Amino acid sequence: MEHEKENLIALKKAQSHLGNVITMIEEKEYCVDVMQQVLAIIGLLKSVNQKLLADHLKNCFAKAMKASDESHKRQMIEEILQLQKMSTK
C-alpha cells in the first residue's frame, strides 16, 4: 500500500484524540471543545479512508479490471458502489 505509513500515523493520532475526547466528556468539558476534537478525529478518518480507496482503485481494482474473470469484475464494481453508498450516509 502506497500510503500505509501515513495511514498508520493518522489512525494512531485519531486513537489518541479519541482517548482525549472520552476524558473530556468524563470531565464535563465545554461541548464546543469536545465537538472540535470529534471533528478533528472525523477529518483524520476521512483522510485515511480516501487514501485506502485510492490505493484500492490503483491496485486491486485495476488488477481485477485487467483480468478476464467477469464475475470478479462485477464483484469489484459492486464493492466500490457499496462503499460510495456508505460514504454518503
Cell numbers for 65: 479490471
User: For residue 76, what is its C-alpha cell?
Assistant: 469489484
Q: 3-class DSSP state for residue 68? A: coil
pLDDT digits (tens, 9 = 90+) for 68-81: 999 999 999 999 99
pTM for this prediction: 0.83
What CATH number is attached to the domain comprising 11? 1.20.58.1000
pLDDT of residue 1: 63
- Chain segment 12-70, per-residue pLDDT in tens: 999 999 999 999 999 999 999 999 999 999 999 999 999 999 999 999 999 999 999 99
Q: Are 25 and 38 in contact (CB under 8 A)?
A: no
Instruction: Residue 53: give the domain boundaries.
Output: 4-87
H helices of the chain, where? 4-26, 31-56, 62-66, 70-87
Does 3 score more than 90 pLDDT? no
Name residue 77's amino acid: I
The pLDDT score that the predictor gives to residue 88 is: 82
Give me the number of domains the chain comprises: 1
